[in-house]
A and B are shown apart, each in its own frame.
Chain A
Amino acid sequence: MKLRPSVDVAPGRSPRQAIPFLLPALVVLAALVLYPLVFSLIRSFFDATGDEFVGLRNYVDTFTDPRTLTAFRNNVIWVVVAPAAVTGIGLILAVLTERIRWATAFRLVLFMPMAISLFASGIIFRLVYEETPNQGVVNAVLVGVHDMFSPSSQYPGARPREGYTPTEAGFIADAPARAGDTITLPLVGFSPQDVPAQALPASVPAAGNGEVRGVVWLDVSVGGSAGKVDPIERGLPGIAVEAVRDGQVVARTTTGDDGRFTFPDLASGEVAVRLPSSNFALPFRGLTWLGPSLITPVIISSWIWIMTGFAITFIAAGLSAIPRDALEAARVDGATEWQVFRRVTIPLLSPVLLVVFVTLVINVLKIFELVFVIAPGSVQSEANVLALQMWQVSFGTGGDQGAGSALAVILFLLVAPAMLFNIRRFRRERS
């Protein structure tokens, strides 16, 4: 007997009944998602005003424009670094949280950034990485740690008026000194207000027998003469002075409150007087996090802060779905915990890790707000990414909707593999 399969297997359930259910959603999707996709594709072949067909020129321009190329480069950095980092951190933390009782609370804390806007997260990290150490906490911590190991100098930025050559080690005298010499060392480039309170008026010491004596003072040109010790000028206390012979430090001393110093028993021969650079080192101000060179890592770190909770929660759900039997069987078979993790947990978890990774890649490709908010206007071109560039080209300063459409299409093409991945996963789950 020949029978044809039923297509309409359920009587009374005609397509007509589906229409009222589907219509509202389909109209909106067609008008505001599908139609725009087609429109953007077409629009990308026209010029800025949309009047003239220019073929692929927008695409050619896009790939030759240095700003867009920077955006491309940054997107590549993002895709290579960020999703892998978050997946890895998420995996480690998810595994660790399995062993603690307050896992739920922990995951809640790490998930919290997902709830707040990228705009607010951006502000939060702008504040975290703010450059001045009295505003940005990261630099404050860095300065604190730095000063703990190398205390800041007393006379930042000061330098000898003349006759000294700046070197790595410090300012070294051009003219040699020998026993019995008296050295006057006027310093400039320092504000009199910042001179320590205990400083006494400076005076040139008398020459001593077999000794090298000298004075270091702040030489002000207003109300005094340059290079001469004037009555109003004060000695600079606490400055390290070294005597150097053949590149070796033979003596070291420190100036007193009146700025005087003495090398007592220098053997005969010439020495060079040197003021070590530690006297004048500028205070450590931390790193320029929001400057051109660090801006992308900084934004990535804030994205990691936002997305890690998602990865942990997703991976933890995957971990709890692993059948206990499999793990216990492995333990009974004599595997160590590491082997169980490496040989059983990870393989069973790999589909979950893949989904997390792909999700994060999609998210990264569309990154916009974080860069927009965290990167200060002056370095935005350094931190640029495609999504931001698309907005700037078409709505910001550019106003070129042809080029903007081309960028939108490129963005779409970059996301397309993830789209196919999702569809395949969906199909597989159904069958």
Chain B
Amino acid sequence: MTLVAEEVRIEVPVSGAPKRGVLSRVAARLGNGAIQLLLALVAVFWLVPVFGLLIASLRDESANTATGWWTVFTKPAELTLANYAELVANQAVWQSFLNTFYIAVPATVLVVVMASLASYALSWIEFPGRETLTVVVVGLLVMPIQVALIPVAKLFGAFGLFGTITGVVLFHVAFGLPFAIFLLRNFFAGIPRDLIEAARMDGATEWVIFKRVVLPVAKPAIASLTIFQFLWVWNDMLVALVFADQDSAPITVALRAQLRQFGTNIDLLATGAFLSMIVPLAVFLVFQKYFVQGVLAGSTK
């Protein structure tokens, strides 16, 4: 008996840690268990819709019209990659998939290049009107793209850019810039002034400082921006809906025609939607840290 009491006393920290009875400790454990269960349920809620889409994309048309995707648990043999094979073989859909790349890649590269150049000037070169310009960019962050659809459509029409990939890219660049500049300027401005001045003292020109000091130091921010912008453009529908024609349409727009008969086109739509999701999902899972940072940094778009 004495021994046990002795042991118990040793276990209690001297510094007056919260003295909790066995009951409350059990309650806390249970409460934590309940929280875990609740959150697990929430997570399942979030996953089920995507999982359903995935399964639907792996079942053929007749299976999808006859029974729900959840019957796959009893009949796993129904799964097939035929939908994907068919979709990839479909020239128009495959072309639209490639178009999505042709749009997203240049729109991302251009935005990153232009925004990092502009952000450098806005954070480290002093010129009259710098404050005003920065504030204007911050203001443009939330500009609805609807404001520009009609005028730019006219403008593109005049320059022969309407219905071209170049036009879609340019529009994305324009509306990607405010956020990109906002994100990069914030990061650039956070670089210690000493570092920039050290480079200046070491004999570097503005261009050299930008290229050899600021860009390498800002790699994380640039990675965030790149991923964010790429996914933003990849996932766009509205811009392409207005500015792309049949040959330059990305996958979202190409699949849109199938929406009319949703019930009978589930196999096609689910497959197409999942095909369009593969790239973002992969990018997200690999670079999720940068993507999340990008979204948090923006928090306005």
Question: Do A and B come into direct contact in the complex, CB within 8 Å?
Answer: yes
Interface size class of B (residues with CB under 8 A): 35 or more
Which residue of B is nearest A129, CB measured? B49
Do A366 and B144 form a contact, CB below 8 Å, given A28-B177, A119-B273, A137-B52? Answer: yes
Q: How far is the CA of A317 from the CA of B297 in the complex (A)?
A: 11
With A127-B266, A313-B292 already in contact, 18 other A-B pairs whose C-beta atoms are closer than 8 Å: A18-B130, A21-B118, A25-B118, A29-B177, A40-B147, A40-B148, A96-B35, A112-B46, A114-B295, A119-B252, A123-B272, A127-B49, A134-B67, A313-B295, A362-B300, A376-B262, A426-B134, A427-B135
Is B217 engaged at the interface, CB distance under 8 Å to the other chain?
no
Chain A contact surface mostly: helix
Digitize B136-153: 1 where CB-to-A-CB distance is under 8 Å, 0 elsewhere.
011111111111111111
Q: How far is the CA of A26 from the CA of B236 in the complex (A)?
A: 23
Which residue of A is nearest B170, CB measured? A32
Q: How far is the CA of A125 from the CA of B274 in the complex (A)?
A: 13
Is A214 engaged at the interface, CB distance under 8 Å to the other chain?
no
Q: How far is the CA of A9 from the CA of B242 in the complex (A)?
A: 48
Q: Report A151 CB to chain B, min CB distance, Å.
A: 20
Q: How far is the CA of A54 from the CA of B56 in the complex (A)?
A: 52
Interface size class of A (residues with CB under 8 A): 35 or more
Q: Report A285 CB to chain B, min CB distance, Å.
A: 13
Q: Report B30 CB to chain A, min CB distance, Å.
A: 13
Q: How far is the CA of A35 from the CA of B143 in the complex (A)?
A: 13
Digitize B168-204: 1 where CB-to-A-CB distance is under 8 Å, 0 elsewhere.
0011011101100100000000000000000000000
Is A346 engaged at the interface, CB distance under 8 Å to the other chain?
no
Digitize B103-140: 1 where CB-to-A-CB distance is under 8 Å, 0 elsewhere.
00000000001110110111001111010011101111
Chain A residues whose C-beta falls within 8 Å of the C-beta of B144 in the assembled complex:
365-366, 387, 408, 411-412, 415
Q: How far is the CA of A36 from the CA of B210 in the complex (A)?
A: 32
Is B14 engaged at the interface, CB distance under 8 Å to the other chain?
no
A39:B273 contact, CB within 8 angstroms? no
A109:B147 contact, CB within 8 angstroms? no
Digitize A271-315: 1 where CB-to-B-CB distance is under 8 Å, 0 elsewhere.
000000000000000000000000000000000010001100110
Is B263 engaged at the interface, CB distance under 8 Å to the other chain?
yes
B150:A368 contact, CB within 8 angstroms? no
Q: How far is the CA of A43 from the CA of B147 in the complex (A)?
A: 11
Digitize B35-61: 1 where CB-to-A-CB distance is under 8 Å, 0 elsewhere.
110110011001111101100100000
Chain B residues whose C-beta falls within 8 Å of the C-beta of A124 in the assembled complex:
49-50, 52-53, 273
